Amino acid sequence: MAAESTDQRHPQYSGDRAIVNKLLTQDPDDYGLAELGRLLTRYKGFPGARDIQVDLEKVLKKWSLTEATLFNQTQKIHQAATVYRQIRGSRDDWS
């Protein structure tokens, strides 16, 4: 049985796909780095959304980052500012 036949569809797929498409076309900024880190966390090990997983890796490569350097940078971003406060308020969207 092929992996694709057992793949699941993530409930946030449509919105996440739009975010990933935007990340593929932009240069890194604090918000983009935070979104990339959030989505990498969300889809790491997820049994599906293979296209998003591949494209997130493409963004890492395009921005000359490893996961470790990305997470180091996003940790600093989150410590220094509230990058999501104006956009999402107090809603957490990590799942």
pLDDT at 3 over 80: no
| pLDDT tens-digit series, residues 68-79 | 999 999 999 888
Ordered alpha helix ranges (H), 1-95? 3-6, 13-25, 30-43, 50-62, 67-80, 85-88
**Range of 35's domain?**
14-88
In a domain, 69, yes or no: yes
* Residue 8 maps to a domain: no
Q: Does some domain include residue 93? A: no
Residue 39 lies in a domain: yes
Asked, for residue 95, whether it belongs to a domain, the answer is: no
Q: How many Cβ atoms sit within 10 Å of the Cβ of residue 70?
A: 19
Q: Does residue 31 belong to any structural domain of this protein? A: yes
Per the structure, the count of domains in the chain is 1
Reported pTM: 0.81
